[in-house]
C-alpha cells in the first residue's frame, strides 16, 4: 500500500555536533565517516544557536 523506503534513501536531518553544547557530542569528521560507512549519501547538522560546525561540515 505504501512506498517502500530503502536503507540507502534514508538520511538523518536532525544531528547535533560537538558545537551544540550540552546536546551533542559527535565530532563532524567521525560523523561524516560513519554516514559514509553505512551507505548514506547525505546528512544535516542542526546545532543549537551556532553555525561554527558549518565550516567543518562543508
pLDDT in tens, 5-56: 777 788 889 999 999 988 888 899 999 999 999 888 899 999 998 888 898 8
Residues 6+ apart with CB under 8 A from 30: none
CA 31 – CA 15 distance, rounded (Å) = 9
- What pLDDT is attached to residue 55? 85
- What pLDDT is attached to residue 1? 59
- What pLDDT is attached to residue 21? 85
Per the CB < 8 A criterion, the answer to whether 32 and 40 are in contact is no
Amino acid at each position: 500500500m505504501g512506498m517502500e523506503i530503502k536503507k540507502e534513501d534514508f538520511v538523518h536531518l536532525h544531528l547535533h555536533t560537538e558545537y551544540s553544547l550540552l546536546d551533542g557530542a559527535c565530532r563532524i569528521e567521525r560523523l561524516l565517516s560513519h554516514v559514509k560507512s553505512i551507505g548514506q549519501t547525505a546528512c544535516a547538522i542542526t546545532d543549537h544557536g551556532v553555525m561554527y560546525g558549518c565550516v567543518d561540515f562543508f
